[in-house]
Amino acid sequence: MGRSKLQIYGPNGEIYQPTLKLQSNTNPEKDAEELYQAMKGWGTDEHRIINVLGYRNSIQRIQIRETFKAMYGKDLIDELSSETSGHFKKLLKMLLSDIDIVNARALYKAINGAGTDEETIIEVLCTSTNTEIENIKQAYQYVLKDYGISDPRRTLESDVQNDLSGHFQHLVVALLQASRDEISYEDVEKISTKGLKSVVNINQVEQDVETLWDAGEAHLGTDESAIIRIVTGRNVWHLQEVARLFEKKYDKTLVDSLASETSGDFESALLLTLNTCLNRPKAYSDLLLKAMKGAGTDDCTLMRIIVTRSEFDLGSICVQFQNDQGSSLEDWIRSETSGDYRRLLLALLGADWQ
């Protein structure tokens, strides 16, 4: 499915860096044969598998899977699943699936499992661009079919409306409309040459600052609808200016102000949505820390972030993580994971694993 490259740009026109770089000299037939040989006979050569799948982007990995099926008449995911186990197997399956299917499947399990996994819903949807949300919505229909659900009325939005409630539901449904006022490549070019104010309506910024103050701390009670409308509808560059002017005018950050007026899942979702717009690497750095800190590791979240961000901004996320924690994401992954699972994560991180 198509993906917008606008997500590689930061709010000041800076370009976010990936860890997984496109290798143009690859050959899907050779890669398929290499994987076949790695699994042939007694035992499995996991290092050969990592050397291929740890260094191919999502399009190349799908091509390898299709080529493997054409050459050997077998599904590569099925073959790898029979030869591997544990988190390593799960990570390989994730790598060989469409990124949007990965996110859609995570959402299906979060909504339809035993109890609702609000954290996964928040992590996936509150960090997504318009294009990503539209792709996830389409992919969700494929996932429903995979689970034997053929009701045409079932959609991601209908499942969200049935499973969530209150302001949290309102926010998630607003995000699912994929109606954020994202700007064009031409506007990004303007930012790099003429500055942020060349593409931002300052009058609208000032109005939004007033609206957010009035909707929150200015009065008893909170106007959640007004807050949701601005946070889910304005582009990242506009929100950057709103946050700057809000702090200048009220001597308090917009994030802190909204945190003081909200609570629970709605607060978590609202703040992640806003923080992703204000500083995407910081938002993901915090999510990765949360996945690894404390007793046990949230491996599903760790895998999903590494896989889905490696081609876009994981390099910048690594820099942010180092700045935030004083130690590298690589070091954290080495201490929190093990075996071939760790080796493959490190390969996707662009780190030495051998």
pLDDT band at 184 (very low <50, low <70, confident <90, very high): confident
pLDDT band at 220 (very low <50, low <70, confident <90, very high): confident
CB 287 within 8 A of CB 304: no
- What is the rounded (10 degree) CA torsion for 59, 64, 69, 70? 100
Residue 295: per-residue pLDDT: 83
Domain that holds residue 267: 185-278
Q: Which of 146, 176, 206 is the last residue of a domain?
A: 176
Residue 228: per-residue pLDDT: 98
159 and 201 inside one domain: no
Residue 244: CB partners within 8 Å, gap ≥ 6? none
Residue-averaged pLDDT of the chain = 93
Q: Which of 143, 176, 209 is the last residue of a domain?
A: 176
Q: Which of 258, 278, 298 is the last residue of a domain?
A: 278
Report yes or no on 130 lying in a domain: yes
Residue 198: per-residue pLDDT: 77
Residue 323 pLDDT greater than 80, yes or no: yes
127 and 192 inside one domain: no
pLDDT band at 2 (very low <50, low <70, confident <90, very high): very low
114 and 141 inside one domain: yes
145 and 212 inside one domain: no
pLDDT band at 352 (very low <50, low <70, confident <90, very high): very high
- What is the model's pTM? 0.93
Report yes or no on 123 lying in a domain: yes
146 and 171 inside one domain: yes
Q: For 15, how many CA atoms within 13 A lie in the half-sphere containing its CB?
A: 7
Domain count, the chain: 2
Residue 306 pLDDT greater than 60, yes or no: yes
Name which residue leads in pLDDT, 43 or 255.
255
Average pLDDT of 324-350? 97
CA end-to-end distance (rounded Å), the chain: 33
Report yes or no on 112 lying in a domain: yes
Average pLDDT of 95-99? 96
| 22-44 tens-digit pLDDT | 777 899 999 999 999 999 988 89
Beta bridge mates, 15: 9
Residue 263 pLDDT greater than 80, yes or no: yes
Report yes or no on 6 lying in a domain: no
| 39-82 tens-digit pLDDT | 998 889 999 999 999 999 999 999 999 999 999 999 999 999 99
Residue 6: per-residue pLDDT: 61
192 and 139 inside one domain: no
264 and 218 inside one domain: yes
Residue 294: per-residue pLDDT: 85
Rounded CA gap, 231 and 235, in Å? 9
231 and 147 inside one domain: no
**10 secondary structure, DSSP code:** -
Report yes or no on 257 lying in a domain: yes
169 and 205 inside one domain: no
What is the CATH number for 213? 1.10.220.10
Report yes or no on 16 lying in a domain: no
pLDDT band at 206 (very low <50, low <70, confident <90, very high): very high
Phi, psi of 158 (to 5 degrees): -65, -40
Average pLDDT of 279-283? 95
| 99-143 tens-digit pLDDT | 999 999 999 999 998 899 999 999 999 999 999 999 999 999 999
